[in-house]
Structure 1
């Protein structure tokens, strides 16, 4: 019998790739021939290629979907159109039974090409409100899965299901001792992990570095600062370890952490929740985004999983004050997190997607 095939798409940020990373091993285990369509220069090419060299990767043209005026708004539709034709040729060659889209700008031409080819599309929305790419993709899709129950009110009832979070299984196999050893830390002093998303955050980096002398009196600090954002002058500071970006080491570093400071991308915060890590969330401001991280963060705060510090209120003083509040609420937060529903496994998610195959 001919091997069945699936195409995955999604990219632009690590958040638009992480679920795909989680389900690829399950799809391979089920005997599927897995292919990936991403952007020509996106982070997804590195993430998928490094973790799954056996999965063919196709880079296509894609345009950014902007909610504001830009001259590129006049040229990017042609890039999207070129991407549609490239994706159409790939789909005709690969002949998948279904396409799964995690969103991001690159997914739009793929979803459109799938509709032209008569291939069913399943999309996934991980924020409280649908992103622009998924809003465009929705009419071309067979079904959409969400993480938040609240998202369902923004979607057609007949084609939307809330699955809850899906967590990469390798995160649960992280080793605290290995994480501490990778940083040269000891088990006697608590560890604060600070990260600003896959691309890093200048404002979070600055807030942390302004407070380093005081924070190092209490914590050992792991700093995921983003590519090109390391400060070599701090490399020799005892108790401080900076990484521009990590992939395979992340599970160990997360297990080593006692507290986490982060942006509020939904994939990341659900991973912290699954590992019962008290978190201080500093969401992207409404001026820098559509406000999805603000909604994510405030919902987590309301449910007792996180402290929130709005970016507009972020200063040297508010940063350290919020961390002290986080530490004081550790026991309460962990107890609340322990009562949450067990995340779906990647195997369960893969089977949900495959029920829509052609």
Structure 2
């Protein structure tokens, strides 16, 4: 393969590290239709189907993930890492990419560590406010570093470009609000709440929503994505205006379009889509995760409500949803959410920075695009 036209994208395990790279790939192809991509991801993650739908060859890769607690796996980790590094070197010499791009994922680390031996340059994007462990490990090898948040840049001791978040465009709904509500069999005279628990769903969020379902469904429509194989209302009656789905794929953009308020975790993938659509939102960050800092950044900018699992109650959640549904407050939250961080044109900016190659050239490009 031609080194000048081959780019290796790597990420997976969850879609959070995947969709920003897909947005960048689309922007790069629009600029240069001759560019060739390959994707290296996890063997059993959710990313393969989405990547292949974009016409990018997918290569499964076994990379060790260090346990964050005392475990016997620490004994086998050095051997797993050596095997992953050997596999990474073989892949890099086979495909000879000019660039390796990652948005932070443990599967990326061996490939990035081996990049200098194969003559490949490295670009990493930091999505969350706190620097992820994988990006910390890859940072010394990075030729280009971009971040979503200005807060993150302060913790990185090398040139950083604060660009916002590349958002993967899932397409625009062509149906009217009335048609979408009819499709979901919901009441067009009521406001609509969309509940998203993340890629695998949230047991805590599902349970709390079930506790307020009867009261909320009298006042609003609810579309609730519970997560694959996660069920609600097993022993009780499901309210009339409350719809639950394990997953929403084709209808997700329709659900987002009609939503007046979104209740969700605070992952950057979902947050970026809310910024793009300008939606009023209530964030319930996953405890002890980077989402806590993401939610704090939202709260500091008064761009949404934030509830913490350790202090929330059913009464507090119900009252917060009611507040967010009030037209004046909803419009205020929508306006602030739309300006939380840049999303439009960010993928194109990253491509420009990558192609600039030199740090000073990248800065000039960024100034021109802002």
Q: Same fold (TM over 0.5)?
A: yes
TM-score (norm: length of structure 1): 0.89
Measure how far apart 1:297 and its partner are: 0.5
For residue 283 of structure 2, the aligned residue among 281, 284, 294 is 281
Equivalent pair of 1:259/1:278 in contact (CA under 8 Å): yes
- 1:258 alignment counterpart: 260
- Deviation readout 1:46-89 (Å, 9 max, x if unpaired): 3323x22x211011111223332222232234333322222222
Determine if the alignment matches structure 1 residue 161 to structure 2 residue 161. Answer: yes
- 1:46 alignment counterpart: 49
Equivalent pair of 2:260/2:330 in contact (CA under 8 Å): no
Equivalent pair of 2:163/2:349 in contact (CA under 8 Å): no
Alignment of 1:118-197 (within 5 A): 118-158=119-159, 160-170=160-170, 175=175, 177=177, 179-197=180-198
Distance, in Å, in 2 between the alignment partners of 1:311 and 1:47 is 31
Measure how far apart 1:339 and its partner are: 5.3
Distance, in Å, in 1 between the alignment partners of 2:84 and 2:111 is 7
Distance, in Å, in 1 between the alignment partners of 2:276 and 2:246 is 24
- 2:70 alignment counterpart: 69
Alignment of 1:1-358 (within 5 A): 2=2, 4-29=5-30, 30-31=32-33, 32-49=35-52, 51-52=53-54, 54-158=55-159, 160-170=160-170, 175=175, 177=177, 179-231=180-232, 233=234, 237-286=239-288, 289=289, 292-328=290-326, 329-338=329-338, 343-345=343-345, 346-356=347-357
Distance, in Å, in 1 between the alignment partners of 2:118 and 2:258 is 47
Q: Secondary structure at the match of 1:313?
A: coil
Q: Where does structure 1 differ by over 4 angstroms across 4 or more consecutive aligned residues? A: 171-176, 232-237, 338-342
Q: Secondary structure at the match of 1:76?
A: helix
Measure how far apart 1:210 and its partner are: 1.5
Change (3 A) 1:173 1:152: farther
Task: Report the number of matched residues.
Answer: 350
Measure how far apart 1:276 and its partner are: 1.4
Measure how far apart 1:26 and its partner are: 2.5
- Deviation readout 1:189-247 (Å, 9 max, x if unpaired): 21101111101110001111121111101111111111111347589753222222233
- Deviation readout 1:15-67 (Å, 9 max, x if unpaired): 11110222222233322111100011112223323x22x21101111122333
After TM superposition, the structure 1 stretch with the greater mean CA deviation from structure 2, 168-177 or 28-37, is 168-177
Equivalent pair of 1:189/1:219 in contact (CA under 8 Å): yes
Distance, in Å, in 2 between the alignment partners of 1:281 and 1:175 is 27
Q: Secondary structure at the match of 2:231?
A: coil
Distance, in Å, in 1 between the alignment partners of 2:287 and 2:341 is 29
Unaligned runs of 5+ in 1: none
Distance, in Å, in 2 between the alignment partners of 1:101 and 1:150 is 20
Equivalent pair of 1:144/1:161 in contact (CA under 8 Å): yes
Distance, in Å, in 1 between the alignment partners of 2:184 and 2:357 is 45
After TM superposition, the structure 1 stretch with the greater mean CA deviation from structure 2, 332-341 or 196-205, is 332-341
Q: Secondary structure at the match of 2:247?
A: coil
Change (3 A) 1:323 1:73: farther
Distance, in Å, in 1 between the alignment partners of 2:174 and 2:145 is 31
After TM superposition, the structure 1 stretch with the greater mean CA deviation from structure 2, 255-264 or 74-83, is 74-83
Distance, in Å, in 1 between the alignment partners of 2:244 and 2:83 is 40
After TM superposition, the structure 1 stretch with the greater mean CA deviation from structure 2, 171-180 or 22-31, is 171-180
Distance, in Å, in 1 between the alignment partners of 2:114 and 2:81 is 11
- Deviation readout 1:278-311 (Å, 9 max, x if unpaired): 111000112xx3xx21111111112121101011
